Amino acid sequence: MHVAVASHHRLPVKGYGGTERIVTALARGLVALGHRVTMLAPPGTAIPGTALVAFPLKAYKDPKFSLAQYVPRDADILHSHFPVATVPDGPPFLQTLYGNLRTGEPIPPHNVFLSANHAGRNGSKVFVYAGLDPSEFQFQSKKEDYDFWIGRLHQAKGYHWAIEGAQRTGRRLLLAGGWRPTLSRGIKYVGEVDGEKKAQLLANARCLWMPALWDEPFGLTNIEALFSGTPVLGTRRGALPEILTPEVGALCETLDEMVEASKTIDARDPARCRAHAERYFTHTVMAEEYVRFYNILLNTGSLPDGRATPYTTV
């Protein structure tokens, strides 16, 4: 199958870029499965095994921009990873939504969500879980004596819960993110991290704090930690209950519950954390599910329901 994958970001991304990393992982997964992939993306995009049809970013920002003029004539599917209001002419089309819609905002045409919760909150059942290449992460069974938090330092991401939890439990906490907060003793800010540095911090952490205070469409750092053999201490928000089981993490409603759960979070087996992520959330698992979507779209003109993890209760 020839898949045209459209992104308005130059790939692979420098820095964190969660959405961009998922798109890159999908392209690599499709190539690994033997499919032909053409990237429709800004100049400089270079993903091994794929071709590139480049368009300048300023063209995407033009209200008259149309993907149709960039799609190869022999493409079987066009898959966009940025919002498209009108279905372009050409091969069957779908797009993936990476954020939450505002109240009353219509669902984009031929849209795929990132989790059952993400879809269900918008009256849909069409979703595919995100995935990453496990080779990007370092599995470590022996952990060091610190807890870890990584993400955008925003109230909705709950970093202040992680800080207060560390203060109440007396644990050492490392935070990684985009700007430096004022911290107390025992809490260290390590700045923005990516690549090998991030992989090392994830692998060596006793646990990852994921105290989301908003409805996460997916929550990529969850699977990054699990690939690293690191259990996750999370809240019961958004997609987290679809990703985490009691064997690989703890889901809590309140900070008090998280503080209590943190006392035993390191009892989880690192190997089970890694195996869980490899079963449900690799780049090839994601690509296989998208190929199922592509085939059904080609045969029926519509998108199927997503397939949730077996412990999902949405």
Contacts of 1 (CB under 8 A, 6+ apart): 35, 36, 76, 77, 291, 294, 295
Does the pLDDT value for residue 314 go beyond 70? no
Nearest Cα to Cα of residue 127 among 309, 312, 5, 305: 305
CB 248 within 8 A of CB 227: no
By residue count, the chain amounts to 314
Q: What is the pLDDT of residues 178-190, one digit of tens each?
A: 766 656 678 888 8
* E strands, the chain, in order: 2-6, 36-41, 51-54, 77-80, 93-96, 111-112, 147-150, 173-176, 187-189, 207-210, 232-235, 249-252
CATH topology of domain 134-279: Rossmann fold (3.40.50)
Question: How far apart are the C-alpha atoms of 284 and 205, rounded to whole Å?
Answer: 26
Q: Which CATH number fits domain 2-132+283-300: 3.40.50.410, 3.40.50.720, 3.40.50.2000, 3.40.50.300?
A: 3.40.50.2000
Domain boundaries, the chain: 2-132+283-300, 134-279
pLDDT at residue 177 in the model: 82
Q: What is the pLDDT of residues 104-152, one digit of tens each?
A: 899 999 999 999 999 999 999 999 999 999 999 999 999 999 999 998 7
Tokens matching residue 113: 């969500």
| CB-neighbour burial class of residue 153 (10 A; exposed 0-12, middle 13-18, buried 19+) | middle
| Beta bridge partners of residue 209, listed in sequence order | 233
Provide the whole-model pTM: 0.94
Q: What is the pLDDT of residues 28-69, one digit of tens each?
A: 999 999 999 999 999 999 999 999 999 988 877 777 788 999
